[in-house]
Amino acid sequence: MVRSVLNNYILICSLVSWLATQLLKILTGTYHNRNLSVVEVVLANGGMPSSHAGAVAALCTASLLKYGVDSFQFAFTAVFALVVIRDASGVRNQVGKQAKFINQMFEDERADLKELIGHTPLQVAVGAAVGVLIAIAFWQVY
């Protein structure tokens, strides 16, 4: 069973991309927010780069390379990637902006909502680029 999982090119690409973007997030997050611990950076939502975008971009790219553009697998992963990326950069980003506004309004009453929830377009683009590059690199190996 372990061998089957390790031979699953698509799963490995997605997991490695997620891990790589999380490691990059540690570097960028601790650099920009020196008061945060490594654990806080990894567990926080948002940040540079987007691990959500990285994982689904790797999933989609790996499916494209393995099964082709006219396959069910690619179609499914492409739509899934679009939904996840749109959510990360759109809906969740707006929720974070709303949380920031509410926290400012109720500063005395301590609303204390999480503000870093979504991603900026740049964070999503960098995460997706990492995912695509990892899928292409692993395609050469597998």
Whether residue 31 is contained in a domain is answered as: yes
Whether residue 99 is contained in a domain is answered as: no
What are the average pLDDT values for consecutive 10-residue runs of the chain, which has 142 residues? 84 93 79 59 68 94 96 96 84 66 66 61 89 94 79
Q: What is the pLDDT of residue 42?
A: 57
Whether residue 86 is contained in a domain is answered as: no
Whether residue 111 is contained in a domain is answered as: no
Number of domains in the chain: 1
Q: What is the pLDDT of residue 105?
A: 66
Whether residue 96 is contained in a domain is answered as: no
Whether residue 24 is contained in a domain is answered as: yes
The whole domain housing 66 covers 2-78+121-141
Whether residue 15 is contained in a domain is answered as: yes
Buried b (16+ CB within 10 A) or exposed e, 36-73: eeeeebeeebbbbbbbbbbbbbbbbbbbbbbeeeeeeb
Q: What is the pLDDT of residue 131?
A: 96
Whether residue 83 is contained in a domain is answered as: no
